[in-house]
Amino acid sequence: MDRIPILKMGSALLVTIQVDMQDRLAMALEEDLTTRIAQTGARGVLIDISSLEIVDSFIGRMLDSIAAVSRLLDARTVVVGMRPAVAITLVELGLTLTGVATALDVERGMALLGERIAGAEGFDAGDIL
Amino acid sequence: MPVTSSDTMEIRTSDDIVRVRQKVRDLAVGIGLGLVDQTKIVTAASEIARNTLDYGGGGTARVEVIEEGFRRGVRVTFEDEGPGIADVTRAMQDGFTTGGGLGLGLSGAKRLSNEFSIQSAVGVGTRIMIARWKSG
Amino acid sequence: MASPDQARFAALLAADRDRILAAWIGALKAAGTVGQGRITAMEMETQAREMLGHLVAAIGEAGFDAKAPAYGRLRDGLAEISRTRAMQGFSPSETAAFVFSLKRPLHEAIARAEGLDPAAAAEIGVEASVLVDQFGLLTVEAYQKRREEVIIRQQREIAELSTPVVKLWDGVLALPLIGTLDSERTQVVMENLLQSIVDHSAEIAIIDITGVPTVDTLVAQHLLKTVAAARLMGADCIISGIRPQIAQTMVHLGVELNVVSKATLADAFAVALRRIGRTVVPARPAASAQG
């Protein structure tokens, strides 16, 4: 089965979701991310969903639980690039993903991760990312 | 109500959910639904398709373009021969779930559709219809 | 299929066409729909001649079955004429009169018709009346549809015009809302704002409702949804200009706007600037800059 690639950048993991995800692919991603965070000691996870045309409750739940699991493993999660139509639909669906941090694009997402990690550690963001 | 196009698709695996989404998207684009309306009906279809698979043990989705007077819409009818829903009213409430999900499937799909109907009988199965019209 | 009587009648009509047309045009002129700068007698006559031609051909082919394909050209032609009438400023009854004025000339033609037995003539008379009525309704419907299209287009234009998203600073947008917010308009507002957030790559959007007279539960919910959707995209919203009465109503309605809210647009802008790491300082007086 196909898997979504996870890239490592500094102490952050970067995932770009580019396909209309089938449920098993989403579950595999959650598992893979958990393993990689533990293996690499990553402090941040950035998930770029700018290519996704829909996020239903299943994908929404996956994002929520990735954020929750990462938190337990001491990593912050930022979801970036959600499209307006997707955001409106998710809200209408009743999902607001309150546990997930968001940013407009990858650049801002990385900056946000940098701040959060630095904030938690008392480092300068530049040292980490 | 005239139906100008109709396709019936099997829902047996989670790949089929993706196929239903794509089909609904194609028809929604075809009748000129706006991007937000497309996204809403595709998402609603995805929710119900997953319900059909997870709770109904699989079934079918009939994806149609419908016409009424001057307006056109996309309608998707899901049917399964699963265990059925004992208390439909309760199942329609936010947060109701038997499957460990968030329980937003039915109520959320209803909010995302212009039309929604559900018939279910215990031991017989469930039929859910959702539709979204192109406004103007 | 046309019955033999109907086919004979169609042939009679074809032969009698000029007289029917003259009577029809006479009726139209008497009704006062010609002239007044909207349509010339010539145009009216051309339209009437063309429609009569379609009608006679269709009766010959399909009898009085208005739904038959043979009537397609007549239907399309009448619909087009009605749409044009709607644009030219005709009233619905004036538009319908175009078709209804044909009723009497048709009946006169039936009365004149030779070679039809009285029973068949009576039957044809009734059917012709029903047919004219159906096409009369069709013209009204087409007229109405055109009007509705105009209204919908205007509503959309108003909605777009009345919800300008303005850029206050790099990364800071404002949406000054004016007038009553209904569900449809709020949807347009929401989509515009969210798209602008993407286009301008804006981190902060200020929704100013100083110009909104009332906020009911539904509107409040829409505002909250907009804020939630913007957050999902990675932008923050600030609501400004909630009037005292509105604040009170909202509390009484039990609506909790659980978002950052500022009294004025200026206050909200100050917050936005702070968030993006900017401050406003007094400019140095020119004199001290030189000395």
Task: From C92, C107, C101, C104, select the one nearest C139 (Cα to Cα).
Answer: C92
For residue A40, being part of any structural domain is answered with yes
Contact A47, A79 (CB under 8 A): yes
User: CA-to-CA distance for A42 and A36, rounded, in angstroms?
Assistant: 8
For residue A26, being part of any structural domain is answered with yes
Chain A residue with CA closest to B18: the answer is A22
User: CA-to-CA distance for B7 and B23, rounded, in angstroms?
Assistant: 9
Chain C residue with CA closest to B34: the answer is C191
CB under 8 Å to A53, separation ≥6 — which residues? Answer: A20, A83, A86, B25, B39, B42
Helices and strands: H and E segment counts in chain A: 5, 5
Helix (H, G, I), strand (E, B) or coil at C175: strand
Q: Which residues of A107-119 are buried (b: 16+ CB within 10 A; e: fewer)?
A: ebbbebbbebbbe
Question: Over 70: is that where the pLDDT of B104 sits?
Answer: no
Helix (H, G, I), strand (E, B) or coil at B32: coil
User: Which residues in chain B touch residue A85, judged by CB atoms under 8 angstroms apart?
Assistant: 35-36, 38-39
Class of CATH domain C166-275: alpha beta
Predicted complex ipTM: 0.89
Task: From C245, C185, C259, select the one nearest C215 (Cα to Cα).
Answer: C245
How high is the pLDDT of residue A32? Answer: 95
Sign of the torsion angle spanned by Cα atoms B31, B37, B41, B46: positive
Assigned token pair, C43: 């145009």
Q: Does B136 touch chain C (CB under 8 A)?
A: yes
Of A68-77, B83-92, B104-113, C53-62, which has the strongest mean pLDDT? A68-77
In this complex, do C191 and B36 lie within 8 Å of one another by their Cβ atoms? yes
Window C:104-133, CB contacts with B under 8 Å: none
Q: Domain ranges in chain C?
A: 4-158, 166-275
Task: From A6, A32, A33, A9, select the one nearest A17 (Cα to Cα).
Answer: A6
For residue C194, give the DSSP letter: H
Residue B1, strand partner residues: none
- H or E stretch at C259: none
Of B27-36, C32-41, C80-89, which has the strongest mean pLDDT? B27-36
The domain over range C4-158 is classified in CATH as 1.10.490.10 = yes
Question: Over 50: is that where the pLDDT of C291 sits?
Answer: no
Residue C238, strand partner residues: C206, C260
A51-78: per-residue pLDDT in tens? 999 999 999 999 999 999 999 999 999 9
Contact A65, A34 (CB under 8 A): no
What's the rounded mean pLDDT across residues C142-146?
Answer: 90
Mutate to test the interface with C, among A51, A77, A82, A100 (most CBs of C within 10 A): A82
In CATH terms, the fold of domain B3-133 is: Heat Shock Protein 90 (3.30.565)
User: CA-to-CA distance for B5 and C11, rounded, in angstroms?
Assistant: 41
Mutate to test the interface with A, among B12, B22, B46, B113 (most CBs of A within 10 A): B46
Residue type, position B59, single letter? G
User: Which residues in chain C touch residue B136, judged by CB atoms under 8 angstroms apart?
Assistant: 149, 152, 156
In this complex, do B14 and A53 lie within 8 Å of one another by their Cβ atoms? no
Window B:12-71, CB contacts with C under 8 Å: 36, 70
pLDDT band at C239 (very low <50, low <70, confident <90, very high): very high
How high is the pLDDT of residue B110? Answer: 93
Q: Domain ranges in chain B?
A: 3-133
User: CA-to-CA distance for B71 and C22, rounded, in angstroms?
Assistant: 39
Chain A residue with CA closest to B109: the answer is A93
Question: Over 90: is that where the pLDDT of A116 sits?
Answer: no
How high is the pLDDT of residue A15? Answer: 95
In this complex, do B36 and C156 lie within 8 Å of one another by their Cβ atoms? no
Phi, psi (deg, nearest 5) at residue A99: -85, 0
- Worst-scoring range by mean pLDDT, B49-53, B131-135, C160-164, C198-202? C160-164
Strands (E), chain B: 3-11, 59-68, 71-80, 115-121, 125-133
Q: What is the CATH number of the domain that holds A82?
A: 3.30.750.24
Assigned token pair, C189: 């507002």
In this complex, do B136 and C145 lie within 8 Å of one another by their Cβ atoms? no
C28-45: per-residue pLDDT in tens? 888 776 666 677 888 888
Which member of B17, B39, B47 has the closest CB to residue A85? B39
- Number of A–B residue contacts, CB under 8 Å: 70
Q: Does C167 touch chain B (CB under 8 A)?
A: no
Mutate to test the interface with C, among A48, A79, A96, A112 (most CBs of C within 10 A): A96
Mutate to test the interface with B, among C187, C221, C233 (most CBs of B within 10 A): C187
CB under 8 Å to B55, separation ≥6 — which residues? Answer: B80, B82, B83, B85, B98, B99, B126
Domain span at A15: 6-128
How much is the mean pLDDT over chain A?
Answer: 89
Q: Which residues of A19-42 are buried (b: 16+ CB within 10 A; e: fewer)?
A: ebbbbebbebbeebbbebbeeeeb
Assigned token pair, A39: 């293996």
Residue type, position A97, single letter? L
Residue C211, strand partner residues: C178
CB under 8 Å to C29, separation ≥6 — which residues? Answer: C41
